Structure formats: C-alpha cells, structure tokens
Amino acid sequence: MTAPPSIADELRGAGLRVTAARVALLDAVRNGDHLDVEAIASRVRDRVGHVSLQAVYEALHALTAAGLIRRIEPAGSPARYEGRVMDNHHHVVCRSCGVVADVDCATGDAPCLTASDDRGFSIDEAEVVYWGLCPDCSTARSS
Ligand SMILES: [Zn+2]
Ligand SMILES: [Zn+2]
C-alpha cells in the first residue's frame, strides 16, 4: 500500500512550484462544490492568511493549465472551479439561483463524444450544460 500522493507532490508532479497558497487552493477547490473565485479566495485566506486576488487568479490559471482543476463557466454566471477533472462529466445549472451540480455523462462510454458527424475532427471532450430549476427553486415556484 502506497500512500496517496500529497497535494504538494501533485503540484510538483505537474511541474508547479509548491506554495502554501497553492496547496490551500487545490484543497479548497476539491472540497468545495463548484466554487467561484471569491469563495476560493476566502477559503485560501482562512488557511494561509492574506493572499491577493491577483495571486488567486494566477494560481487558478496555473492549476487549470496543469489539468489539476477544471474551470467551468455557464453562460451568464461567473467562472467556477472544480477538482473533478478528466472524466467528461457535465453540469446542470439552475436558471433561478445558479446552483451547479455534476451530471455524469450519459450512460455508457461517453456516447456524447461520438458526434453524429465529427466533421473530420478528433473529438476528446464534450461540454454539455443542462439548464433548469433546482429542487429548491421548483418547490418555491409551485407553492
Ligand atoms: Zn435554484
Ligand atoms: Zn463538476
């Protein structure tokens, strides 16, 4: 049994410089639920003290580029980040309150990647956003 790699090891493995802020940030994104930048910044600050918003943006950019986190940006809502990467999952977004939840790819082996006509492209990702009302909002509307 080998211990799972620490966050610092993962950063190093991705060729990134390890800083307390980056470790706190990756941890916050993974434990959070599609957090936006403000929410991530406040969690990072809770752990490591003052970090500028600029530094948070830079770290998010570096971690996203390294594939450790994923940036999603539903139309009309601020960018959000998540730690679930590389599995081609999708999102369902509430039109009313903006809450975001994960939706696994349609059953089977990512059938959405099999486009009805690939136009000659080699496709490796399908970005699907389902829109609707979350349970709380639809209950509020019908009552
Ligand atoms: Zn809602
Ligand atoms: Zn997600």
**Could you write out the three-class secondary structure of the chain?**
CCCCCCHHHHHHHCCCCCCHHHHHHHHHHHHCCCEEHHHHHHHHHHHHCCCCHHHHHHHHHHHHHCCCCEEECCCCCCCEEECCCCCCCEEEEECCCCCEEEECCCCCCCHHHCCCCCCCCCCCCCCCEEEECCHHHHHHHHC
Ligand 2 centroid to 18 CA: how many Å? 25
pTM here is 0.82
**99 Cα–ligand 1 center, Å:** 6
Decide if pLDDT at 107 tops 60.
no
Q: Which ligand is nearest to the CA of 100?
A: 2
Q: Which ligand is nearest to the CA of 132?
A: 1
Residue 51 CA to ligand 2 centre (angstroms): 26
Does residue 12 have a pLDDT over 80? yes
Better pLDDT: 101 or 124: 101
Report the pLDDT averaged over residues 121-125: 82
86 falls in which pLDDT band (50, 70, 90)?
Answer: confident
Q: Which ligand is nearest to the CA of 102?
A: 2
Is the pLDDT at 122 greater than 90? The verdict is no
Average pLDDT, the chain: 89
